[in-house]
Amino acid sequence: MGQLRTALEKILPPERLCEREPMRQHTTFRTGGEASYFLRINTREELSAVINILQETGVPWIVLGRGSNVLVSDLGYDGAILQLTGEFDEIRQTAAQELTVGAGAALGQVALSAQKLGLTGLEFASGIPGSIGGALIMNAGAFGGEMAQICTGASVLDEEDRLLTLDRDAMAFGYRTSSVKGTHRIILSATLQLQQSSPEEIAARMEELKNRRLEKQPLEYSSAGSTFKRPAIEGYYAGKLIEEAGLRGFAIGDAQVSEKHCGFIINRGAATSAEVYQLICEVQRRVEASSGIRLEPEVLTLGVF
């Protein structure tokens, strides 16, 4: 590992090269052990150089957005976590109704920038605490909107360090998935096609959705949002199935099925990743026993469980 750090120091300054980084500081569950390396990458050149070193040394790596859909093991991650910052945070208006946005930009900030420009279509994302890159990979959505509706293309770095431009069809968006999910391709930026509206009307819609979230979702607790995907069977919803299984408020340690919204598993303050994971598994088991439906987690796991 000493040789690895020496090689990385030739690319990244010390403040962007962290060892034994507690991942609870970088996930919305506020759980997780230490990552061997946590690297903040500011440019595509840095990204390519860092990945080349990691591959040469055989060190596992993953790109992490804002940790809003990830459960990191209490044992941590024996590898390098890459976070895209710097030029990847940029938000640019590239046409009258078009934004080009870096993969590291926060969804909420992008939605706010669009609102100030009088561009509508991103209001649904204003309360989702993720990054653009993560949102595209998972085709994030809420309140009837999703990234597939507004993303016309993405700039992607493939496994051979080639820069690709994927249009909407090539992104193959589906329910909480895309063609990039499960690969080592890295989204660098996205092009978003929006519509003209008044900033005041957009702000009013964002405020309406914010109030609906506050009313129905346990935002006062750490969580990863909706824990389970909507079942493929028409008319069935994860939260309702969990409630019908008698699991409202059910807890393992400080991990709990939210009493406010059964589709959320929350950290009441001192939960471990193991407790969250055990609760996910127990919810799956009991819901399947009561309904015959196996819920699929929306949350991704990282490390050993």
Residues assigned a catalytic role: 176, 226, 298
Backbone angles phi, psi at 273, to 5 degrees: -65, -35
At what angle are helices 2-9 and 44-57 packed, to 10 degrees? 160
State the DSSP string of 81-143: EEEE-GGGG-EEEEETTEEEEETTSBHHHHHHHHHHTTEES-GGGTT--SBHHHHHHHT-EET
84: Cα within 13 Å, side-chain hemisphere: 30
Which residues, in sequence order, are CB contacts of 293 under 8 Å at separation 6+?
A: 231, 233, 236, 241, 287
Which residues, in sequence order, are CB contacts of 218 under 8 Å at separation 6+?
A: 258, 259, 260, 261, 264, 266
d(CA 59, CA 303) in angstroms, rounded, equals: 14
Residue whose C-alpha is closest to residue 105's, from 72, 128, 123, 121: 128
Show the tokens assigned to 27. 């996930």
d(CA 115, CA 137) in angstroms, rounded, equals: 24
Residue whose C-alpha is closest to residue 248's, from 262, 234, 231: 262
- Residue carrying the six token digits 């809003």: 68
